[in-house]
Structure 1
Amino acid sequence: MDPRIREHAQTIAEHSTGIESGDNVVVAAPAAAEELVVALHEECAERGANPVYTSSSSRASRAFLRNREGDFETPEHLLAMYEEMDVYIAVRGDANASETADVDPETNAAYRRAMQPVLQERLSKTWCLTQFPTPGNAQLAGMSTDGYQNFVWDAVSLDWDEQYEHQQRMVEILNDAEEVRIAAGEETDVTMSVAGNTAINDKGEKNLPGGEVFTAPVRDSVEGEVHFDMPLYRQGREIEDVRVRFEDGRVESHSAGRNEEVLDGVFDTDEGARYLGELGIGMNRAIDTFTYNMLFDEKMGDTVHMAVGSAYPDTVGEENEVNQSAEHVDMILDMSEDSVIEVDGDVVQRNGTFVFEDDFE
């Protein structure tokens, strides 16, 4: 076994989830990630935890979604398992990143609505989402298998204490903020209130790798237009050139240069899918390659991402409403040129450089 796999497992068990004796741990991973699953079971054994392995398969999911007739039901047996667990570890790793490309977007939306209680239960526990470097994801990223392995394991093994200190300065700015403005190029100018909400410093715990600072907008406060100029891969399809217009917090119009019907399905999932649940600022400059994998892409330095759909409750203050949805879909815009982030009228980032960095101008 590559020693970096055991290092990956140790980081998950120790840094990301803090697995302890007696913890009931669920590991969900594809067959291609079996070596990481084995290493995680070793970690659980050493810590006196109780692991259960559930295999995730995009081929099986596709088969179910394309052949199911009638309404979807919440899988109560899966919900029961999540109610009993203490730690959830989700490992991504595709043999074919486009496996579900021929599943109807409306079917996906209906399934996600049925799965919402399961998702909420899962998110209420200690959890970590990570990536195993598979050939399918390497191909999607335009990398060799070896090159992608190096990319993933370098990103996972970052000095997270040092990264935390770098990001904490942005957390402090946002936690004192009333309003944030994002402007980039000629097509993006959007404002939102973050008053009373909390910024989170992502140092590789719930997401591994980490490397962002994120919060939630006040639900009805988002106003303006955004051109998400970086693509996203959703339901096995690439969505490009997304444009969204917000009024009173709600998505009132949208378009995409490619696969717009997938975006239609997202926004039609439920009413909460038409509101922003997250504003995130990418601050991990060790991730310098776009790979069509949101777990990495949203952390890149010189980027901002916004997610329509569910908000993380930890980011929402007691006086504000937590946006709820069966969806949580991140979309990214490049902030490296002709762009600013303003907080209460003051520029805190210009062209990707933060006000607390030496080369800020």
Structure 2
Amino acid sequence: MGYSYRDAGVDIQAGNEVVERIKPAVARTLRPEVLGGLGGFGGLFKLDLSKYPNPVLVSGTDGVGTKLRLAFQMNRHDSIGQDAVAMCVNDILVQGAEPLYFLDYLAVGKVEPKRLAEVVGGVARGCEMAGCALIGGETAEMPGFYAEDEYDIAGFSVGVVNEDRLIDGSKIQAGDILIGLPSSGLHSNGYSLARKVFETYSLDEQFPELGEPLGEALLRPTRIYVKPILSLLPGGEILGMAHITGGGLTDNIPRVLPKGLGIRIDTSSWERPPIFALLQRLGDVAWSEMYRTFNMGIGFVLIVHPEDKDSVCQKLDDLGERSYIMGSVVTGEGVAYEDGNSGIGSWK
């Protein structure tokens, strides 16, 4: 008897079992605009033109990066899917878009139904947090390409905004105020540096300043900011937004500024999770490098006129969301940091 696909390392039945396991989690994400269910060749979504009469579709795609290595080491796979969703939906939110749906792509060395159901369960939970539907995905079993106990995950999201409600930063001017929303930790960026700093430490290591094992602090999932931010947008106060991902505060905030404008940031104006100080101390990482690599405790930034800062902060507080007035827009390009509390001094 000749070889079968299963003999070559691809188990179609195991893939079908994954689909059955994830159906309840996927069902919790569905929106009224979704047509059909899992199993089709394409996901179907009927856009509500009464809500969006002048629609602009906004799309984003991303992965999780080397944070996956920690999930493998800890054998914890239930939150990494949230990271994949967050990296996409937070990006499209920056332009004022409501995330509508998400699709994931999982490439694995060997299909392990329980583990993959945990991963997709995290994706579904992230979609619920963002209010978007998980309308499809793909699992590719690739023996000999990935190790049997490893996988990669990526995804993309599509959102929509009425054209007259697009947020492009064009109305930002010198004197406008930066409002920061806290991160939950490293989110999904800078892990190559973080893993280098901590390579000689166990993930079970207990550092007193963390109050939890090192691995728990590093694996904490990326926050999803969609629902509180969408609640703010009808007020019209938001001039620009930035999702703080790779490049940190230094590279991401200037992306939304008109030419000729820069920012001044007071880094003593918010609380940094202790993981950042630990990283800086153990790795002797320059502060300029820290702020260009990590989010440093700020995961999302809003820019508003000075007269709107108090009302926006109050609205965020009413939504249960902490916020920090963290700096201002200035004439002249670039980023200037000041931190009187830590003695960092100033740099550009």
Q: Decide which structure has the larger Cα Rg and report it.
A: 2
Same fold (TM over 0.5): no
TM-score by length of 2: 0.27
